Structure 1
Amino acid sequence: MSDSEYLPRWLQGQLDLALRTMPVVVLTGARQTGKTTLVQRLQPLRRYLTLDDLDVLDQAQRAPDSLLVNPPLTLDEAQRAPDLLLAIKRYVDKTRRPGDFLLTGSAQFPLLRGVADSLAGRAVYLDLSSFCPLEWQGGVAGLFDSLFAVNPDYAPWDAPKAHDAWRQWVLRGGFAPALRCPTDDMRGLWFGGYVKTYLERDLRDLSNIESLPDFQRLMQIAAQRTGRLLNQAEIARDAGIAHVTCHRYLNLLETGCQIERVQSFTANPTVALVKSPKLFWRDSGVACWLCGIYDLAALAKRNDLGFWLEQAVFQTLHAWRAIDPFRRRLSFWRTRGGAEVDFVLEQDQHVVALEVKASSRIGLGDVTSLRQFIEAQAHRAASVRGIALYGGDDVRFFGADIVALPYGALFPALVPPDDTNA
């Protein structure tokens, strides 16, 4: 890939910083997020090996120490040889230099059995998400950062919008090959191949699955519940599998970077909060394909469009949080009394409550939950601000600490695939 074709990633700066700080950097993310492209563009003196090469995999499994000579070294798909991580631990304990080892994998290493212990204190973990709309179009990652400022600049949210562009983005997701597909049919074929590859390769690297049809059925059912509270008993019932099997399969989906469980915000112990996490897919295009939503007409027929809009917003929030996961937290807030905030963003003791509204109009009644959240947290954080993302054009204020912003700023008009470089 030439320099003119490469699309810079938001995570690049954090990755460079990590390599200057820690002896082991682990870069995870689902297959096709662009991990290999990113790491191969690092300083040219780094050796690069991939465990997709069967000879390299055999050496990593049988004589892992022999691979680790002459760092700095990048090892792609390192999750395929867990014993390699123990060899890296031994090497780092003898010679500790920043940036010696960069590991990538299509699984979240801290969730793999034994991995967290083997690299404890020696590694930093970064997560490369699939492209969000702003990143794909070459935009900067500052829209959400601006919401934490003492005097936020809302001008970037007030630019001309393509109001229904989010629907196109949620169908396409964030994988570069899918974004390049010029037709719905071509994109559907690509997603079908992607899921098949995940089931037949990545999943088997993680665990022995007795019934792949059962697992794929659970994936389809889980996709239908994106943006909702996770009810494992309900999913197990609908999938026709045991509850313990459902729990294991969901854990594998999370370990394999396919789903994300967003936890509830619990800073106020005096409020009766819903403790169940919310389920989101890491890539909205995969979720749509699993649900049989192959084009805009099929999406328009859904009676749960609000949840899909929330999924589309989540994809950008996930990319924003991944840039600096040590300072940024993402959760949601819901009380048993029915008050709800879709997302809660935290950064350096400052809190932004985010409510997503599909309507093009917004009034005082639409920001009631934001007001309740602010009142509940006002004395527990350095600052608390409420943001309602809605489908209108204008920035609207509902007091000094609540503002409504057009969600269209997150979804720029889609560049035709034939004109897109990445």
Structure 2
Amino acid sequence: MIPRHAAPRLAELAGYYPIVAITGPRQSGKTTLARAVFAGKPYSSLEDPDVRAFAMGDPRGFLAQYPDGAIIDEAQRVPELFSYLQTRVDGERRMGLFVLTGSQQFGLMEGISQSLAGRVGLLHLLPFAYDEVGATRPNDSLEDWLWRGFYPPLFDRNIPPHVWFADYLATYVERDVRRLLQVRDLDAFHRFVLMCAARTGQLLNLSALAADCGITHNTAQAWIGVLEASYLVLRLAPFHRNFGKRLTKTPKLYFLDAGFAAWLAGVRGADELATGNLRGPIFETWVVSEFAKRRRNALRGEELYFWRDTAGHEIDLLVTRGEQVLAAVECKSGRTVAEDWFPPLARFSALADNPRRLLVYGGESGQPRTEATVFGWRTIGQALDFAFG
């Protein structure tokens, strides 16, 4: 097993709460992480029909099998179980008793909010961070990483990314969307997902997106919510503090895995990212996703935003704590540092009380410049350390 940065935080949560829950996209490694951190606990999957029938028909008897708790995989498949878990943990008052995992956020979170509020420590697990897997393929280029992405099965199976992504999309659409979300026009939803990928790293214009897909604005809004709640995309909100400027109020859209976004947008090989027009948006998508992973893996309290005024001045990413901007980050996919990359950071720094300034680019070498600290893409982990402090 490749060690996960989230493992220490998960163990820490088990000392604070009687139940810990791990949620996230399908195939992000939730079960593997749970079984590694809580190796002494028995494991039960509610995906198995006979196990699910037992839990539904006799929830008390099902839980009685586990006097010292257990890992219950795909817990949302039996929502009736949550009330019995509440009774059990309230009576015993032991921390870290049960570990729940769930790929489908809606059912798991609904059960937690209704029956287990205040009793569950929650961890959102995304696919691998670069620092978790970079050493496994030290000779791969930036384009190789952006094209492959970071889902765990692409590292433990010898399967081409384009094959795995096609199956992943089909499974996600056919299983989660049809069965659980009642999206009836699957062709339209499929087209919608492709159109979203083509817009990764851009301002989210829902009206234009809906028109391009032949759906209503309300449907587009609902479907974006589906993708976001399933941990496939992130809506990055604009920073609300205006510094005396008129600001855009439109969020930006990012996929949480660069490889999946690239495949959905039609990229079929790493070489296509070397000079194609998707290189910049996919690189920016990757950088933003790495910041999102660090925040979730470490249970950080900081928030992520971008900043853009109506004159078009923009900073790609802000790390904030309340009203304070801790770091301003620019993402550039070019391989050579250019002088015109720095003025936006200097301009914003003058407005925002001199936050830490970072530039992450597609080259190899870092530079401690006066205008900003420059990090090559391979040192994204150092950039994260610097930004979060």
Name which of 49, 53, 73 aligns with 2:44: 49
Name which of 146, 150, 154 aligns with 1:174: 150
Shift of 1:13: 0.5
Matched-pair contact (CA < 8 Å) for 1:46–1:73: yes
After superposition, give the CA deviation of every residue in 1:86-144 in whole Å (9 maximum; x if it has no partner): 332333333332111211111335995564343322212111111122211359xxxxx
Report the Cα distance in structure 2 between the residues aligned to 1:361 and 1:285, rounded to whole angstroms.
23
Report the Cα distance in structure 1 between the residues aligned to 2:14 and 2:51, rounded to whole angstroms.
23
After superposition, give the CA deviation of every residue in 1:173-228 in whole Å (9 maximum; x if it has no partner): 11122245657xx3322211111111122334531121111111111111111111
In the superposition, the TM-score normalised over structure 1's length comes to 0.81
Report the Cα distance in structure 1 between the residues aligned to 2:172 and 2:104, rounded to whole angstroms.
11
- The reply on whether 1:371 has 2:346 as its aligned counterpart is yes
Letter aligned with residue 375 of structure 2: L
Matched-pair contact (CA < 8 Å) for 1:169–1:312: no
Q: Secondary structure at the match of 1:82?
A: coil
Shift of 1:299: 3.0
Report the Cα distance in structure 1 between the residues aligned to 2:106 and 2:135, rounded to whole angstroms.
29
- % identical equivalent positions: 33
Pick closer, same or farther for the CA change 1:203–1:51 going to 2, 3 Å: farther
Pick closer, same or farther for the CA change 1:42–1:272 going to 2, 3 Å: same
- The reply on whether 1:403 has 2:373 as its aligned counterpart is yes
Q: Secondary structure at the match of 2:271?
A: helix
Out of 273-282 and 53-62, give the one that drifted further.
53-62
Name which of 278, 301, 305 aligns with 1:304: 278
- The reply on whether 1:129 has 2:126 as its aligned counterpart is yes
Shift of 1:67: 2.9
Letter aligned with residue 75 of structure 1: I
Correspondence 1:139-288 to 2 at 5 A = 165-179=141-155, 186-268=160-242, 270-288=244-262
After superposition, give the CA deviation of every residue in 1:282-323 in whole Å (9 maximum; x if it has no partner): 222222222221102333463232111101212322221112
Matched-pair contact (CA < 8 Å) for 1:110–1:116: no
What is the RMSD computed on CA atoms of the aligned residues? 2.8
Q: Secondary structure at the match of 2:281?
A: helix
Residue aligning to 1:78: 75
Matched-pair contact (CA < 8 Å) for 2:363–2:376: yes
In the superposition, the TM-score normalised over structure 2's length comes to 0.87
Pick closer, same or farther for the CA change 1:176–1:395 going to 2, 3 Å: closer
Shift of 1:73: 1.8
Pick closer, same or farther for the CA change 1:13–1:110 going to 2, 3 Å: farther
Shift of 1:372: 2.5
After superposition, give the CA deviation of every residue in 1:392-411 in whole Å (9 maximum; x if it has no partner): 45443443x72222224239
Report the Cα distance in structure 2 between the residues aligned to 1:117 and 1:180, rounded to whole angstroms.
37
Report the Cα distance in structure 1 between the residues aligned to 2:98 and 2:263, rounded to whole angstroms.
36
If asked which structure has higher relative contact order (CA below 8 Å, sep 6+), I would say 1
Name which of 357, 371, 375 aligns with 2:332: 357
Q: Secondary structure at the match of 2:357?
A: strand
Matched-pair contact (CA < 8 Å) for 2:239–2:306: yes
Consecutive unaligned residues of structure 2, counting only runs of 5 or more, are 382-389
Report the Cα distance in structure 2 between the residues aligned to 1:117 and 1:322, rounded to whole angstroms.
23
Report the Cα distance in structure 2 between the residues aligned to 1:137 and 1:396, rounded to whole angstroms.
21
Report the Cα distance in structure 1 between the residues aligned to 2:330 and 2:108, rounded to whole angstroms.
30
Report the Cα distance in structure 2 between the residues aligned to 1:76 and 1:66, rounded to whole angstroms.
17
Pick closer, same or farther for the CA change 1:359–1:41 going to 2, 3 Å: closer
Matched-pair contact (CA < 8 Å) for 2:178–2:184: no
After superposition, give the CA deviation of every residue in 1:61-104 in whole Å (9 maximum; x if it has no partner): 44434433324221111122333233323333333321112111
Q: Secondary structure at the match of 1:337?
A: coil
Matched-pair contact (CA < 8 Å) for 2:75–2:108: no
Letter aligned with residue 126 of structure 1: L
Matched-pair contact (CA < 8 Å) for 1:73–1:100: yes
Shift of 1:260: 1.5
Shift of 1:27: 0.5
Residue aligning to 1:18: 13
Report the Cα distance in structure 2 between the residues aligned to 1:34 and 1:97, rounded to whole angstroms.
26
Pick closer, same or farther for the CA change 1:117–1:371 going to 2, 3 Å: farther
Letter aligned with residue 127 of structure 1: H
